[in-house]
Structure 1
């Protein structure tokens, strides 16, 4: 079934029980991730539970197609319904999912993440046409949707933006839902919550002080330094990110989205695209200042290496969410290991 954009948030909050597998795709990687996690929480309260959540990649299923059905049919040691999360999916997996949907095993909810898929995508058409599956598109927020996201998040903390502040936020956010949410969290911390029963006004000065006109640029610096194996730049970029109060989870989430984009770019190259063509598929588009760096990353990272890096990031995210774990140290060590892997590939 195809989920209309106006119905997407309602569906995500309470997925149709007839859908055993749900494809979430589109250029807004942050929104894809957000909707996947929202649906995961409708099944599993603790997203760090290794017994009820299985993480698979595109290459995992290509090398072992039966693993999808095996994971979907597996029973949790401690009971409860399971989630099977598939990252970086593309049309090369269509046949595997077609077979699975024809005779689904177990009661797990299968959540499938993909980048931008065109109207003729075989994977997208399969999920849209199946009665026991669903497809949800994720595109960058238009101004109306973005205003709703801003007002809703601020209102939850007893805050309301003055007109000038709202205009500033609309002008400087919106290309990626994940970045938008991170920047709004910074604004909330800076402005402070409102008092119970009344709304505190967020001023233009508040917005300018906490949300830069290059939102997410510090994250880009960290990611590019790690992916290129530039240790000195990584150390500097991490220091800047920490000075800007960017938390470890935000860095790992941004890195996860970037690795997924590189994975999709590698898949495009395997099917005949050149590097420039592969980069045009990035959403949001790569800023011109990062173009050379991302091109080098595409040349230096194949899909097998990207899978290993993504596994490291996912494990780090789980560790950071565990009570008492030093999230800053875990994030730094993970970035260091990825940078070392990038340097090893240059030898």
Structure 2
């Protein structure tokens, strides 16, 4: 089977199999999916800034014209050399466009497909895994053991290191999604510019940042059914330029964490152990506990599905992103408000 287990993906990425010309990068960790797809596509060509060598393609546009992907993949460069196609999957079926490439792989083109969370029986995933020309790479939530390397790598890009105390504190604070974790680390590195090391004092200062607290406040209000706080906070975020899809992503990450906690509680785990495993900023623990108590696991699964659909819709329709996010948040919050 042309796939790797989650813990094997990094090793494969260090030495990609040249026979794998269609690589599907998928999973619930949206940030990690994007990070790995980006690195794979950019690393496959000599000049990733050359729009002919690295071609970015919208998945829904490809799905509407299935032959376009094969035509692009088999285009020969004027000066030779390898090319890469980076396809960001949307809501439409990509399988008809991908099947010809799996049947007759292009010679000098790598096709990287960036997708969301795909079930085992998803037709695209199944086709890639069954093909000798394909490779499917899953990206699941970052765990505590993954975070020290992420922290060190992110700070290294800014010429910084973290004290051991700061690293330990960050492991407890960062969440499961790679993109949001990187955003927090980049904010922290920017704050610490001019220093050699990041300290716990820097973390406290950045974690108290008003915009970050505003986003946390909105997410907590949504899952507590506090409509007034949600509306007020969301209006402020959008007024200050917060991206609608990122607010949905933050809520999605939170909902997944809530679901994991609720399932653990329903399985007999203590609330104390659940709160510890959630790696929460201490000021949010009380609100998180109330949410775990109020939300059954089945209702959280429905909320997670709504947030994923909303995030995909917001990305496809940028001009309507704020309206889409507001509607999704209102639907979720009303479930609690109605009791």
Contact preservation (8 Å) 2:245, 2:315: no
Give the match for residue 107 of structure 1: 108
Separation in 2 of the partners of 1:306 and 1:91? 14
Q: How many residues align?
A: 268
Contact preservation (8 Å) 1:22, 1:135: yes
Give the match for residue 237 of structure 1: 240
> How far off is 1:30 after superposition?
0.5
Structure 2 length as normaliser, TM-score? Answer: 0.64
> How far off is 1:42 after superposition?
1.2
Task: Give 3-state SS (helix, strand or coil) of 1:92's partner.
Answer: coil
Change (3 A) 1:188 1:80: same
Contact preservation (8 Å) 2:21, 2:133: yes
Separation in 2 of the partners of 1:221 and 1:67? 44
Say yes or no: does 1:208 pair with 2:191: no
Task: Give 3-state SS (helix, strand or coil) of 1:167's partner.
Answer: helix
Task: Give 3-state SS (helix, strand or coil) of 1:145's partner.
Answer: helix
Separation in 1 of the partners of 2:150 and 2:114? 22
Contact preservation (8 Å) 1:13, 1:38: no
Change (3 A) 1:215 1:30: farther
Contact preservation (8 Å) 2:54, 2:85: yes
Please identify the structure whose Cα radius of gyration is greater. 2
Contact preservation (8 Å) 1:84, 1:111: yes
Which of 270, 280, 291 is the equivalent residue of 2:304? 280
Q: Which moved further from structure 2: 93-102 or 68-77?
A: 93-102
Structure 1: gaps of 5 or more residues: 195-199, 223-227, 242-250, 262-274, 287-293, 310-336, 343-347
Give the match for residue 161 of structure 2: 159
Task: Give 3-state SS (helix, strand or coil) of 2:55's partner.
Answer: strand
Q: Deviations over 1:142-188 (max 9, x none)?
A: 0011122113333552412332x233312221321111112112212
Give the match for residue 284 of structure 2: none
Separation in 2 of the partners of 1:7 and 1:175? 18
Give the match for residue 16 of structure 2: 15
Structure 1 length as normaliser, TM-score? Answer: 0.62
Separation in 1 of the partners of 2:301 and 2:32? 23
Q: How does 1:70-89 map to 2 (within 5 A)?
A: 70-77=71-78, 79-88=80-89
CA RMSD of aligned residues (A): 4.3
> How far off is 1:14 after superposition?
3.6
> How far off is 1:124 after superposition?
1.6
